[in-house]
């Protein structure tokens, strides 16, 4: 089949969105990356796995690309003769550097052949707190819990020289109640010359942990890769599992999953809109939005049993159903919350002090955003009109009327505006879903095969979470076992862009800029 | 300005009564009175209760609930409880997550920086025993291997009322005399 301008042997996987899968040789690996970039496609995610079996098998590198026509392509590169390196892709897609460093940490496979500008062999997730020759995703690694442990080591930050330049080190423990990470600023006076991030503090071995869980249980772990995106990631996981096992999902469950996904989006946007007001010294905004969010979460709990909807999306459907009263309650809440948000929207728009802090702060132009691979909500605030719900629609989005929220400002103000627009759009989606909700059951029973008779296979999930695109690649071994589960959070693309967004801004605006992206540490560090 | 004032007036006071701490629960639905809570916190600590929260590998779910606990429904500061930035100002260390090896040092340093007497609370299933993440090359499987844990708050994530009840519980269970400094 022709992919971009190349002829590749790929076949369609039974996912609810168009996904092609195939194996490539080393020469085709880089050629495909280049051809796809030239055809305006982009790299979504890169990972590796250990397919060695005794004397046979290989390490395998995988990359998934989004093509402009609305198709994903997943390419596997087996590293023949037990090679432990592969052609790096950072010269074509600079934003893949950290993903390649993570592959080196977890699997001991090195990216080679890149220009000096893009080659970075510093460890990323590994901070020296386990031995450097321990690769958790290799077969021989096993699950190590005892033995001698070294302590975490220092990190070779890039130093900036010059008259009056000094460094400010922040983290991993921050002032507020947020996730841990380290930021190293090089500043002159108040102005930021350079920011370098060090992440990985919340790396908890999720990829290895997946391999010890039954595949039918993996959705619970997927739903805790990033707690604020539990619906998106659990849905992507279930989508992958359902494709691999060819499980049907009842239509009502598919529609309810979308309802939950939009509720998750609104919950997060409400929290962020409040926090953004607060970071610009407008505590009223925080108090008001957090109240709305609390109401929202309480209804989740009342109807679905969990405030953040963890463990509600399950393989084959969803756990729990709503009745006519529930639907009425949800619709009534849409009306109440929408009125509240519209009022606050006016207040934010008319508040000179807020707008002064928001406008032109932390700007990422459309050109920068394209070059750096900015994605999701932040991408849409920088003029990149992309959304999985529109460009790669899977049911029920194929049947829902949906308008994309997009701004070109690229500053904090634009990221605030996109959130407001998306809240209103999600409310509209929720109303459509509730009005047209199909009847029937909400969960297909897992086939009553004996556990060890469940087939192996591969599948993938692709969901527009509130932060951006969440991709899950799942490789199953026979007998309900997970050979490899890779959960990709959009923060992998967006964290490096934050380093650019703060250049030239003043240090006190960093918390505001950071919040306007609100990237995931846990989803990134895994 | 008028819109802001209008909104404030419309919102009114949304604060709810605090939950009874688990240890003090007499009958179902008992709620503690605010003045009594104040007094208890004062009796035990001599001042308001200050908390330093540290995420030691959480999925962020526990932090979402800590932030929710700061919303107006729970009126945390009205009870004399406050989250602080500096461990030097903190009476209580609240740790979430399965405690990643990459965070051990930061957790230990935060604890060391707190003035005695210090209380340590493990927040959520992960901090108690590793939760769904367990113990592996990257995590210790909970807080107990690193710090002396005074109290645990179960849940995944624990809801704001559970966190509040847990905090009140640990305050009410008086500190053992040896950990109270003689000044
Ligand atoms: S207890 Fe649950 S919510 Fe809290 S960090 Fe662990 S997985 Fe996340």
Instruction: Check which CATH number belongs to the domain holding A58 and give it.
Output: 3.30.460.80
Are A345 and A244 in the same domain? yes
Are A346 and A463 in the same domain? yes
**A-proximal residues of B, 50-89, CB under 8 Å:** 53-68, 70-73, 83, 85
Domain presence at residue B5: no
Q: Which of A155, A173, A197 is the last residue of a domain?
A: A155
Are A138 and A275 in the same domain? no
Higher per-residue pLDDT: B37 or B182: B37
**Bridge partners of residue A42, in order along the sequence:** A66
A206 contact B CB<8A? yes
How many other CB atoms are found less than 10 A from the CB of residue B7? 17
B19 contact A CB<8A? no
Are A137 and A272 in the same domain? no
Assess whether pLDDT exceeds 90 at residue B170. Answer: no
**Contact by Cβ (8 Å): A238, A315:** yes
A278 contact B CB<8A? no
pLDDT, tens only, B7-26: 888 888 878 777 665 444 43
Chain B closest-CA separation from residue A490 CA (Å): 15
* Interchain contact, A172 vs B62, CB within 8 Å: no
Chain A closest-CA separation from residue B118 CA (Å): 18
A129 contact B CB<8A? yes
Residues of chain A with pLDDT under 50: 449
B11 contact A CB<8A? yes
**Bridge partners of residue A63, in order along the sequence:** A46, A75
Q: Cis before residue B157, ω within 30 degrees of 0?
A: yes
Q: Which helix (H) or strand (E) holds A199?
A: none
For residues B41 and B33, give the distance between their C-alpha atoms in angstroms, rounded to a whole number.
13
> Measured at the alpha carbon of residue A435, what is the angle toward residues A434 and A439, in degrees to the nearest 5?
75
CA of B178 to the centre of ligand 1 (A): 33
B96 contact A CB<8A? no
The whole domain housing A123 covers 2-155
Assess whether pLDDT exceeds 90 at residue B169. Answer: no
From chain A, pick out residues whose CB is under 8 angstroms from the CB of B92: none
Are A118 and A13 in the same domain? yes
A518 contact B CB<8A? no
Task: State residue B23's pLDDT score.
Answer: 45
Kindly report the backbone phi and psi dihedral angles of residue A423, in degrees, each rounded to the nearest multiple of 5, phi listed first: -60, -45
Task: State residue A171's pLDDT score.
Answer: 86
Q: How many CB pairs under 8 A join A and B?
A: 163
Task: State residue B38's pLDDT score.
Answer: 62
Task: State residue B68's pLDDT score.
Answer: 94
The whole-angstrom distance between residue B79's C-alpha and the CA centroid of its chain comes to 13
Are A366 and A499 in the same domain? yes
Q: How many domains is chain B built from?
A: 1
Domain presence at residue A305: yes
Domain presence at residue A201: no
Torsion sign, CA atoms A485, A491, A493, A496 = negative
> Measured at the alpha carbon of residue A176, what is the angle toward residues A170 and A179, in degrees to the nearest 5?
70
Domain presence at residue A148: yes
For residues B74 and B96, give the distance between their C-alpha atoms in angstroms, rounded to a whole number.
20
From chain A, pick out residues whose CB is under 8 angstroms from the CB of B88: none
* Interchain contact, B132 vs A224, CB within 8 Å: yes
Q: Which CATH number is A313's domain given?
A: 1.10.645.10
Domain presence at residue B3: no
Task: State residue B21's pLDDT score.
Answer: 54
- For A355, half-sphere exposure in the C-beta direction (CA atoms, 13 angstrom radius) is 8
Q: Where are the beta strands (DSSP E) in chain B?
A: 49-55, 81-83, 92-96, 119-123, 151-153
The whole domain housing B63 covers 32-179
* Interchain contact, A178 vs B55, CB within 8 Å: yes
Task: State residue B26's pLDDT score.
Answer: 38
| Minimum Cα–Cα distance from A523: chain B residue | B59
Domain presence at residue A168: no
For residues B15 and B37, give the distance between their C-alpha atoms in angstroms, rounded to a whole number.
16
B124 pocket-lining for ligand 1 (C-beta < 6 Å): yes
Assess whether pLDDT exceeds 50 at residue B27. Answer: no
Q: Cis before residue A435, ω within 30 degrees of 0?
A: no
Domain presence at residue A30: yes
For residues A124 and A201, give the distance between their C-alpha atoms in angstroms, rounded to a whole number.
10
Contacts of A17 (CB under 8 A, 6+ apart): A72, A388, A392, A393, A394, A462
B152 pocket-lining for ligand 1 (C-beta < 6 Å): no
| Minimum Cα–Cα distance from B6: chain A residue | A343
Average pLDDT over residues B112-141: 94
Domain presence at residue A162: no
From chain A, pick out residues whose CB is under 8 angstroms from the CB of B112: none
Are A220 and A72 in the same domain? no
From chain A, pick out residues whose CB is under 8 angstroms from the CB of B132: 209, 220-221, 224
Task: State residue B32's pLDDT score.
Answer: 54
Are A131 and A279 in the same domain? no
Average pLDDT over residues B112-117: 92
From chain B, pick out residues whose CB is under 8 angstroms from the CB of A350: 3
* Interchain contact, A201 vs B133, CB within 8 Å: no
Are A283 and A419 in the same domain? yes
Are A348 and A221 in the same domain? yes
Chain A closest-CA separation from residue B9 CA (Å): 12
List C-alpha distances in Å: A491 to A42, A45, A49, A448.
Answer: 16, 11, 21, 38
* Interchain contact, A202 vs B8, CB within 8 Å: no
For residues A470 and A303, give the distance between their C-alpha atoms in angstroms, rounded to a whole number.
25
Domain presence at residue B146: yes
Beta-strand relationship, A182-188 and A191-198 = antiparallel
Provide the H-helix boundaries in A211-323.
218-222, 230-245, 251-279, 283-304
Domain presence at residue A175: no
A114 φψ region: left (φ > 0), alpha (ψ -120 to 50), beta (else)? beta
Domain presence at residue A43: yes
> In the structure, what pLDDT confidence band is assigned to residue B30 with cuts at 50, 70 and 90?
very low
For residues A16 and A19, give the distance between their C-alpha atoms in angstroms, rounded to a whole number.
9
Are A443 and A337 in the same domain? yes
Q: Which CATH number is B73's domain given?
A: 3.40.50.12280
Nearest atom, ligand 1, residue A308 CA: 3
Rg over alpha carbons for chain A, rounded to the nearest Å, is 23
**A-proximal residues of B, 142-171, CB under 8 Å:** 156-157, 159
Average pLDDT over residues B57-81: 91
Task: State residue B36's pLDDT score.
Answer: 63
Q: How many domains is chain A built from?
A: 2
């Amino acid at each position: 089949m022709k992919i971009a301008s190349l002829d590749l042997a790929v076949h369609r996987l039974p996912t609810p969105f168009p996904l092609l899968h195939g194996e490539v040789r080393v020469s085709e690996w880089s050629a495909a990356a280049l051809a796809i970039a030239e055809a305006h496609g982009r790299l979504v995610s890169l990972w590796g796995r250990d397919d060695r079996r005794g004397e046979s098998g290989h390490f395998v590198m995988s990359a998934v690309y989004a093509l402009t026509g609305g198709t994903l392509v997943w390419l596997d590169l087996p590293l023949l003769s037990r090679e432990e390196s592969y052609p790096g892709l950072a010269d074509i897609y600079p934003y893949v550097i950290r993903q390649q460093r993570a592959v080196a940490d977890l699997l001991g496979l090195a990216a080679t052949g890149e220009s000096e500008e893009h080659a970075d062999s510093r460890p990323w997730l590994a901070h020296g707190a386990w031995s450097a020759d321990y690769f958790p995703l290799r077969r021989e690694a096993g699950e190590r819990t005892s033995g001698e442990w070294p302590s975490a080591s220092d990190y070779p930050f890039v130093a900036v020289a010059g008259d009056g330049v000094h460094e400010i080190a922040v983290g991993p423990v921050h002032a507020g109640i947020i996730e841990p990470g380290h930021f190293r600023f090089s500043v002159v006076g108040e102005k930021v010359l350079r920011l370098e991030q060090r992440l990985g503090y919340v790396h908890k071995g999720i990829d290895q942990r997946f391999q010890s869980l039954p595949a039918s249980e993996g959705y619970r772990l997927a739903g805790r890769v990033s707690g604020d995106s539990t619906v998106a990631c659990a849905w992507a996981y279930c989508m992958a599992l359902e494709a691999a096992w060819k499980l049907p999902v009842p239509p009502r469950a598919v529609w309810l999953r979308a309802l939950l996904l939009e509720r998750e989006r609104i919950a997060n946007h409400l929290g962020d809109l409040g926090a953004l007001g607060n970071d610009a010294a407008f505590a009223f905004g925080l108090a008001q939005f957090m109240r709305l969010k609390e109401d929202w979460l309480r209804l989740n709990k009342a109807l679905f049993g969990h405030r953040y909807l963890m463990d509600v999306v399950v393989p084959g459907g969803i756990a729990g159903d709503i009745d006519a009263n529930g639907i009425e309650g949800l619709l009534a809440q849409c009306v109440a919350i929408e009125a509240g948000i519209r009022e606050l929207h006016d207040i934010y728009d008319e508040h000179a002090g807020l707008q002064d802090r928001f406008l032109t702060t932390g700007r990422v132009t459309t050109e920068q955003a394209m070059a750096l691979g900015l994605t999701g909500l932040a991408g849409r605030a920088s003029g990149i009109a992309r959304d999985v719900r529109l460009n790669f629609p899977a049911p029920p989005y194929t049947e829902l009327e949906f308008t994309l929220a997009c701004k070109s400002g690229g500053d904090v103000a634009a990221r605030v505006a996109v959130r407001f627009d998306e809240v209103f759009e999600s409310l509209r989606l929720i109303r459509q879903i509730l009005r047209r909700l199909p009847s029937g059951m909400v969960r297909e029973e897992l086939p009553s095969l004996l556990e060890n008779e469940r087939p192996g296979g591969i599948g993938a999930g692709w969901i527009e979470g509130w932060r951006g695109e969440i991709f899950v690649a799942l490789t199953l071994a026979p007998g309900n076992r997970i050979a490899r589960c890779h959960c990709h959070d959009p923060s992998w693309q967006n964290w490096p862009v934050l380093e650019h967004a703060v250049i030239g801004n003043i240090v006190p605006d960093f918390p505001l800029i950071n919040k306007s992206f609100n990237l995931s540490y846990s989803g990134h560090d895994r | 300005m008028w819109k802001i004032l209008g909104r404030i007036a419309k919102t009114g006071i949304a604060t709810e009564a605090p939950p009874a701490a688990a240890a003090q629960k007499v009958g179902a639905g008992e709620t503690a009175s605010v003045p009594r809570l104040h007094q208890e916190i004062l009796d035990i600590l001599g001042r308001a209760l200050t908390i330093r929260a540290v995420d030691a590998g959480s999925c962020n779910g526990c932090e979402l609930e800590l932030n929710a606990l700061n919303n107006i429904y729970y009126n945390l500061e009205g009870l004399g409880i406050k989250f602080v930035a500096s461990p030097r100002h903190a009476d209580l260390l609240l740790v979430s997550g399965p405690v990643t090896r990459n965070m051990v040092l930061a957790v230990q340093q935060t604890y060391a920086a707190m003035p005695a007497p210090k209380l340590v609370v493990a927040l959520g299933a992960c901090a108690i025993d590793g939760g769904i993440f367990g113990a592996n090359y990257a995590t210790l499987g909970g807080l107990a291997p690193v710090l002396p844990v005074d109290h645990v708050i179960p849940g995944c994530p624990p809801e704001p009322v559970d966190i509040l009840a847990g905090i009140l519980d640990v305050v009410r269970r008086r500190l053992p005399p040896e950990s109270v400094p003689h000044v």
